[in-house]
Amino acid sequence: MEKKYNIAVVGATGNVGREIIQILEERNFPINNLACLASSKSEGKKIEFQNKNIVVKNLEKFEFDKFDVALFSPGAKISSKFAPIAANTGCLVIDNTSHFRMQKDVPLIVPEINSDKLDSYFKNKNRKNIISNPNCSTIQMVVALKPLHDLAIINRVVVSTYQSVSGKGKEAMDELFEQTKGIFTNNNVQKKNFTKQIAFNVIPHCDDFLDNGNTKEEQKMIDETKKILDPNIEVVATCVRVPVFIGHSESVNIEFDSSITEEAARKALQNFNGISLVDHRKDEGYITPVESAGEDKIFVSRLRKDHTIDNGLSLWIVSDNLRKGAALNAVQILETVAKNKYLSF
Ligand SMILES: NC(=O)c1ccc[n+]([C@@H]2O[C@H](COP(=O)([O-])OP(=O)(O)OC[C@H]3O[C@@H](n4cnc5c(N)ncnc54)[C@H](OP(=O)(O)O)[C@@H]3O)[C@@H](O)[C@H]2O)c1
């Protein structure tokens, strides 16, 4: 008989948590008991799952010991405190926040790329019992880079992102909506989640500034790409928030070690699991974030040679940041764990 899992979703009322619950249902992951956890202010709220109403519980009072896996997305600070508590009871944690990603003894996984890392991780009896899900902008970029890096070594990537407000949580989505409405109705623009007006504007500032001039979001793209794909790839990133509700876009310029033809790149991208190449050099022949919302694939468009360097390609990548950028990737990690029977019961 198929094993059924006890799964806890931490941050269940948030953008990522809600998407995780929806994807678990869509993909029919075998679940015995689903616990939905959030802060005390959400205690008692109801979340629909498989035609049942699940009552949201307070994370602070929850016991993880009867749960096989907990999918965490309550923010880095809360994960830093509660993920180890859950993991120490024997419950495997798959964490969506940035807190554990760069820790040496925590695997940072995109299943299409490096799920093989999990074999040795689960053989280690002293493992932390935490797996990290990468940053949304990193995930969609590395999925597109992987088949190209397999064709010709990538030396350097220059990326500019166009990131939707859902990447900053549900309140940020409300802020874009309220500001847009306010501007049309001649009301004041209220700023809370963004440093500047986001409606009808773009903001070259995602997450806090670091001493080196990068923002944390830019540094995540640099560090995580090295950890997931290859430590020798140099990345220059500029991360920009745009007034789009769902779907991150990226303009990416790639410098290779040796020559690579457009045709070979096209074929490699087309054949790679999780990528949809939509690239017709005409009106509507490319994907925009609105079309990516609700989709599982990452979309590659505008593929072309960069004639200013010896071995360069430019492309445009779009993906639903809440799905492949967060919830879907986390559920795919969970499916990989289940398929390989990494948890011994
Ligand atoms: N959105 C993305 O594209 C994306 C992608 C990758 C990673 N992430 C990461 O995932 C995390 C969550 O993002 P999100 O977009 O889902 O944010 P969100 O919409 O603001 O949701 C936050 C969730 O965390 C819960 N939470 C907050 N404080 C808590 C506490 N003290 N105890 C328990 N639960 C608490 C909230 O519960 P209440 O409703 O009760 O407040 C809510 O369920 C962040 O670390 C983010 O960086 C997001």
DSSP letter string over 253-269? EEEESS---HHHHHHHH
CA 231 to centroid of ligand 1, rounded, Å: 29
Q: Percent of the chain, pLDDT > 70?
A: 99
Closest residue CA from atom 2 of ligand 1:
167
Q: What is the pLDDT of residue 253?
A: 98
**Ligand 1 pocket member 329 (CB < 6 A):** no
From CA 172, how far away is CA 164, in angstroms rounded? 10
Q: What is the pLDDT of residue 2?
A: 81
Closest residue CA from atom 47 of ligand 1:
97
Over the stretch 31-52, which tens digit does the pLDDT of each residue have? 999 999 999 999 999 999 999 9
**Ligand 1 pocket member 83 (CB < 6 A):** no
Over the stretch 93-120, which tens digit does the pLDDT of each residue have? 999 999 999 999 999 999 999 999 999 9
Q: What is the pLDDT of residue 310?
A: 96
Q: Which residues of the chain have pLDDT under 70?
A: 1, 345
**Ligand 1 pocket member 17 (CB < 6 A):** yes
This prediction has a pTM of 0.97
Nearest in space to 101 (alpha carbons), one of 91, 93, 90: 93
**Ligand 1 pocket member 80 (CB < 6 A):** no
Nearest in space to 162 (alpha carbons), one of 222, 252, 281, 235: 252
